[in-house]
Amino acid sequence: MLSVRDLYVSFRTFGGEVQALRGVSFDLYKGETLAIVGESGCGKSVTANTIMGLIPEPAGRIKNGSVLFKGKDLTKLDKSKMRKVQGVDISMIFQDPMTALNPTLKIGEQLTEGLRTHQKVSKSEARKRAMELLEVVGIPNPEERMKQYPHQFSGGMRQRIVIAIALICEPELLIADEPTTALDVTIQAQILELFEEIQERTGVSIILITHDLGVVAKIADRIAVMYAGKVIEIGTKREVFYSPQHPYTKGLLASVPRLDLKEEELQPIEGTPPDLFAPPIGCPFTARCPFAMEVCDRIYPGTTDLSETHAVDCWLQDERAKRLFDK
């Protein structure tokens, strides 16, 4: 359904050019959930905004690559054509539901706006569809709730409304950018169950952007690990969780607290991510990697296919490096 290939995105600032994405590539298949994980600043949200056509111009620009959605390159569409895709074929759930909702408009108006804009349905039909969706996302008394404003809802209910807005036009691809960050654990579990129910009901494909590996373990089918604007490892949930191959992926998994171990100390990844004003030539994780070799700093490793579904960018798995060790 979606194929991102060799995507480069930069932002011009007073301090220079920030190379936010540096050759991102991945595929998404119909009906699956792909989780994109990594530290803050690694390029997760920029990837999502690029797919949605929301890169702010002229500061931000796509320097190279393609985003093929059902065979159509979204990077080549002008704004008017892209608007026919946004919210209709591809929808996005933004990180903060309070800022995603207009505080001056009633929920009913915000729910029906997209449907009336894109599908030209009557006001009564749009209202009926909106109330049905509020019930689907678990908001009781939809007829009364349609008349209320965002501040009259709790954080969890606002997040459900944002999900309903994203689903109103029945998109084929749903991008969820940190959808559970501001929610407590109980509401977080409810939102994740809601995603699973929606996917079973509609067959929508989901890109889930998060730094929470617990969320990933709950609903992801495949995982793409990003670091310094690159996808450094990608595989099925089982492959990445039980057989991680990149030192950064191993570090992420080791830094998650475990309740089954008593008096366990947290294992942080030492150091800081590289400066994307002047990213390193070789592997960007070299300065923080306990297994770094001289070649890591000078040349970026190629992608090594470990299986049909599992691939990693690391010299430790590269056959050329393994032959040197054998000697």
Distance CA 96, CA 99 (A): 6
Residue 316 contacts residue 305 (beta carbons within 8 Å): no
Residue 138 contacts residue 55 (beta carbons within 8 Å): no
Q: Which regions in the chain score pLDDT beneath 70?
A: 182, 261-264, 321-327
Distance of CA 55 to the CA centre of its chain: 15
Q: What percent of the chain has pLDDT over 70?
A: 95
Give me the amino acid identity at 46.
V
Strands 311-313 and 205-210 come out as unpaired
Residue 80 sits at φ, ψ, to 5 deg, of -65, -40
Biggest alpha carbon distance in the chain?
75
Q: Determine the pLDDT at residue 325.
A: 56
Distance CA 286, CA 201 (A): 44
Helix (H, G, I), strand (E, B) or coil at 119: helix
Those residues with Cβ within 8 angstroms of residue 80's Cβ, 6 or more apart along the chain or in another chain: none
Cα 166 to Cα 27, 116, 171, 172, distances in angstroms: 22, 14, 8, 11
Task: Tokens for 289, please give them.
Answer: 């990697």
Helix (H, G, I), strand (E, B) or coil at 326: helix
Q: Which helix H or strand E contains 204, and what residues bound it?
A: none
Q: Which helix H or strand E contains 205, and what residues bound it?
A: strand 205-210
Task: Tokens for 163, please give them.
Answer: 């999900």
Distance CA 210, CA 2 (A): 19
Task: Tokens for 263, please give them.
Answer: 């008096």
Q: Determine the pLDDT at residue 182.
A: 66
Cα 58 to Cα 10, 97, 183, distances in angstroms: 11, 27, 34
Q: Determine the pLDDT at residue 323.
A: 62
